[in-house]
Every structure is written in C-alpha cells, then in structure tokens.
C-alpha cells in the first residue's frame, strides 16, 4: 500500500503545497478539520504585524497599515471561495457570536414568526445560540431530523439554520433544495459553513442563500480561535439589522455621536474593535487556500478519504462508518463508530496519528488535502489497524478523559 501511496503522491498536482505548511514533526495530522495546520508564511506575517505595525507604527497603523479595513479585506478574499460577492462577506468575532447576529437579524425580518428550525445533533454552538434568544422570548427552537426537514418548515418558521457539512458525520446537506423549500414557505436560511469553507466548493449565491457563517481556524488555517466570517446576501443588506450594535458597525464610528446609525451593507455586522493579530493570521491562511483552489482541494480530499477506506479494508479491518460512503455526499472527513472510540483515538495520538473523538462513540478523521500525502494515509490506516489488532487502546492511560476531547 505504501508503494501505491507513493505513486499517488508523485502524481498529486497539490504535492508542492505541503511545503508551504510548517508540518509538525513525527505527526500524521488528521485533524485539520478541527484546527488547521500552520502556514509557513504566518509567523513572518505576524512578526511584521507585531514588531512593525504595532511596535513601530503604533496607533497610526489603523490607517497606515489599513488595520481598519482588515475585516472587509479578509471577508472579500473568502467570498469567492463560498460563492459570494466580495461585499457580502466580512471576517469578525467568533462563529458563535456571528450566529447570534444573523439568527437575530432573521427573526427581526420575519415579525410574527419565532421558530428557528435546525436538526438534532447539529454542532452544539449552533443549537445553543438559539437558547439565549429563547430566554429573551424572541425565538423558539424546533428540531427536525434531516429526512423530515423540508416538511418541518411551516409558516411559523422564521429561519432554517443548518450546518452544510455535518461536523460529526461529514454528511452534506443539499443547500439549493433546502434553501428553496424554506423560501417557498417564507422562511430565511442561514448556512453554517464551518466544515465547508476552504474544504469544498460552496455556491451561496447560486443556492440563493440568505445568510451564512463560517470558521476561520479549520480549513482556512487561521490559527487557534481565529475570527469567524459571515455572509449577508446583497438583497438583504438594506433591511438587515442585528442587535450587537457596536461602534465598528456604525455608519461613522469616529464621529463619536451618541446615537447608533448602522453602517452601509455588511459593515453593520461588525461590533467591537477588530482583533488584528487573529485577522492577520487568518488572512495568510485564506490567501494560501485561495491560491490552491477549493475545487482541487476537494478532489484530493475525496481521493485521500477513499484511499484510506481501501487501505483499512485491505488490512481486513471492519469499522462502522457513519459518514456517507459516496464521497460526493460528504465533506473532507470520515467518521467511524466504535464504543471505545475515545481510547482508540488516544492510542492513535500516542502513535503520532492525530484524529479526534466526538462524544459518545465517534472517531473522526479529517483529510485536509493541502498538507496531507497519500503516504500519510497509508501509514494512518496501518496504525489504526495495529491499534485495533493489538488491543493497545485498552491501556488505562488511553481511557482517561482530558479537558478538551
């Protein structure tokens, strides 16, 4: 298998890009869907921002280094990767905070409707962000399984809020069909692109999406806790309002007036002072992903995950797969169910194969194709096989839960 992997690597049109990442030593990293790897250009860019722009430029850098438009600049670079126009995307705050802005915005645009519809088992923060609005009496949460989703959209639904690629299974929702179904019943749609953006082609405008959010620290390689991004379709940019009405979303932040007046367009989605270090690191990651191109990335990630399945199968290992087996119906990951998934994941990590565990019984392996080789995949499959065959996951040290799993 290793030989076949090396042949595949030799023919891989993306093989040169691995060298653009600071790949950790002794590690096969199958968790780029949780925290993307470090681009080699990031430390230099951060040094420039810290020593030059902050240290020497000081407050002047808001103008001279154009810090003030960094949220728009990074947003505009993300936009073509998710099928949006440059002025429809802005990078800011966390994904969770951005969810709050857009859920609130949608509720305000559909007076008389309170229901935010999602699916059970959606990524927790998506579901949780409805809770605060429920407590305030502004929203009502409704959950429907995905096969019954379209039928669950009725005249009480203000917003259909779904994650495009499921964090646990990698299953892809049909963005076009569900958006159309929601619109047919007068509801708006918010897509969470956390596991799609930078991983696979997304076309928000072709699907007529209303809103979207996404994550900066997964496939965009923006670093731990990188700012998120959000999308507001052009047609809503006059009407849309959100409750986090901070000074950076004001029409004239430096007029220092007492009264709030929203900025034009997507700028009104800003709230506080932009996090410059985080945005600068994110910009490097986005630039690199844009250079490679999401079509090529997705094609390779499908090959990687299919190759992994072949390898495991040839080793004679049977694992219950919870991801769609058709690679066109899943994102850049494979997830397997096993009652001892946590311990197996820890045993793999001890061997330098880093995937992650998702409660209660999921081993999740991400195939971030910008820096992974087929050789890594063959080796990861061998390690998984050995861990299962030797039963080394049964050691006590692999069963003790860490703070972050």
Selecting among 217, 229, 342, 374, the annotated active-site residue is 217
279 is an interface residue for a second copy by CB under 8 A: yes
114 is an interface residue for a second copy by CB under 8 A: no
Identify which range of 179-187, 271-279, 317-325, 379-387 contacts a second copy by CB under 8 A. Answer: 271-279
DSSP state of 330: B
Residues 243-262 that bind a second copy (CB under 8 A): 243-248, 250, 253-260
174 carries a ligand binding annotation: no
286 closest CA partner among 86, 75, 84, 16: 75
Q: Which residues pair with 29 in a beta bridge?
A: 354
Query: Is 364 noted as a catalytic residue in this protein?
Result: yes
* List of E strands, 288-344: 320-321, 333-337
Dig out the tokens for 282 from the structure. Answer: 């994110």
42 carries a ligand binding annotation: no
Q: How far apart are CA 154 and CA 181, in angstroms?
A: 10
Report the side by side order of strands in the sheet with 333-337: 320-321, 333-337, 362-366, 356-358
For residues 8 and 188, which CB has a smaller minimum distance to a second copy in the complex?
A: 188
Assess contact for 189 and 356: CB atoms under 8 A.
no
Query: Is 73 noted as a catalytic residue in this protein?
Result: no
96 is an interface residue for a second copy by CB under 8 A: yes
Selecting among 168, 218, 309, 330, the annotated active-site residue is 218
128 carries a ligand binding annotation: no
Q: How far apart are CA 188 and CA 180, in angstroms?
A: 10
Q: Report residue 305: phi and psi, to 5°.
A: -70, -35
Residues 126-155 that bind a second copy (CB under 8 A): 127-129, 131-133, 135-136, 138, 143
Q: How far apart are CA 345 and CA 339, in angstroms?
A: 11
Q: How far apart are CA 138 and CA 340, in angstroms?
A: 41
Selecting among 21, 29, 100, 123, the annotated active-site residue is 123
Q: How far apart are CA 138 and CA 166, in angstroms?
A: 27
For residues 207 and 368, which CB has a smaller minimum distance to a second copy in the complex?
A: 368
Selecting among 192, 210, 356, 376, the annotated active-site residue is 192
Residues 26-45 that bind a second copy (CB under 8 A): 27, 29, 31, 34-35, 37-38, 42-43
Query: Is 40 noted as a catalytic residue in this protein?
Result: no
Residues 53-72 that bind a second copy (CB under 8 A): 53-63, 67-69
Query: Is 77 noted as a catalytic residue in this protein?
Result: no
Identify which range of 197-205, 217-225, 300-308, 325-333 contacts a second copy by CB under 8 A. Answer: 217-225
Assess contact for 136 and 104: CB atoms under 8 A.
no
112 is an interface residue for a second copy by CB under 8 A: no
For residues 281 and 363, which CB has a smaller minimum distance to a second copy in the complex?
A: 281
400 is an interface residue for a second copy by CB under 8 A: no
7 carries a ligand binding annotation: no
Owner of token pair 């694992």: 319
For residues 271 and 292, which CB has a smaller minimum distance to a second copy in the complex?
A: 271
95 is an interface residue for a second copy by CB under 8 A: yes
223 is an interface residue for a second copy by CB under 8 A: yes
Query: Is 396 noted as a catalytic residue in this protein?
Result: no
For residues 8 and 133, which CB has a smaller minimum distance to a second copy in the complex?
A: 133
195 is an interface residue for a second copy by CB under 8 A: no
Q: Report residue 358: phi and psi, to 5°.
A: -125, 120
Q: Report residue 253: phi and psi, to 5°.
A: -60, -30
- For the chain, what's the residue count? 405
69 carries a ligand binding annotation: no
User: Distance of CA 377 to CAs 273, 308, 389, 394, Å?
Assistant: 42, 6, 18, 24
Applying CB under 8 A, which of residues 89, 193, 281, 381 lies at the interface with a second copy?
281
95 carries a ligand binding annotation: yes
Alpha helices in 79-153 (DSSP H): 95-109, 124-135, 149-152
352 closest CA partner among 397, 387, 404: 387
For residues 132 and 391, which CB has a smaller minimum distance to a second copy in the complex?
A: 132
Residues 320-379 that bind a second copy (CB under 8 A): 349, 354, 356, 358-359
Dig out the tokens for 269 from the structure. Answer: 């989605």
Binding site, annotated residues for pyridoxal 5'-phosphate? 95-96, 123-126, 163, 192, 195, 217, 247, 273
Q: Which residues are catalytic?
A: 123, 192, 217-218, 364
């Amino acid at each position: 298998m290793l030989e076949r992997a090396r042949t595949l690597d030799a023919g891989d049109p993306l093989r040169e890009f691995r060298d653009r990442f600071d790949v950790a030593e002794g590690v096969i990293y199958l968790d780029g869907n949780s925290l993307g790897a470090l681009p080699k250009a990031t430390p230099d860019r951060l040094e420039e921002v810290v020593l030059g722009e902050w240290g020497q430029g000081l407050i002047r850098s808001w103008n001279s280094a154009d810090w003030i438009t960094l949220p728009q600049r990074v947003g505009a670079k993300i936009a073509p990767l998710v099928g949006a126009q440059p002025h429809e995307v802005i990078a800011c705050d966390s994904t969770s905070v951005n969810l709050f802005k857009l859920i609130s915005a949608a509720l305000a645009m559909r007076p008389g409707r309170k229901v935010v519809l999602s699916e059970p088992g959606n990524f927790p923060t998506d579901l949780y962000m409805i809770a605060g609005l429920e407590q305030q009496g502004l929203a009502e949460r409704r959950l429907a399984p995905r096969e019954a989703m379209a039928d669950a959209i009725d005249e009480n639904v203000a917003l259909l809020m779904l994650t495009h690629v499921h964090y646990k299974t990698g299953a892809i929702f049909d963005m076009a069909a569900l958006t159309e179904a929601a619109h047919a019943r007068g509801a708006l749609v918010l897509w969470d692109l956390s596991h799609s953006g930078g991983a696979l082609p997304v076309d928000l405008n072709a699907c007529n999406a209303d809103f979207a959010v996404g994550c900066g620290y997964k496939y965009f390689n923006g670093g731990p806790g990188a700012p998120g991004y959000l999308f507001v379709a052009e047609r809503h940019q006059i009407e849309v309002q959100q409750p986090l009405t901070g000074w950076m979303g004001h029409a004239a932040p430096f007029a220092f007036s007492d009264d709030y007046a929203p900025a034009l367009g997507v700028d009104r989605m800003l709230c506080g002072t932009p996090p410059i270090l985080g945005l600068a690191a994110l910009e490097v990651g986005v630039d690199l992903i844009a250079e490679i191109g999401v079509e090529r990335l997705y094609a390779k990630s499908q090959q990687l995950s299919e190759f992994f399945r072949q390898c495991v199968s040839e080793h004679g290992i049977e694992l219950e797969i919870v991801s769609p087996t058709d690679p066109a119906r899943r994102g850049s990951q494979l997830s397997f169910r096993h009652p001892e998934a946590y311990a197996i994941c820890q045993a793999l990590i001890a061997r330098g194969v880093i995937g992650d565990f998702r409660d209660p019984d999921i081993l999740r392996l991400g195939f971030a194709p910008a820096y992974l080789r087929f050789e890594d995949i063959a080796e990861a499959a061998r390690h998984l096989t050995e861990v299962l065959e030797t039963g080394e996951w049964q050691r006590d040290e692999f069963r003790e839960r860490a703070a972050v799993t």
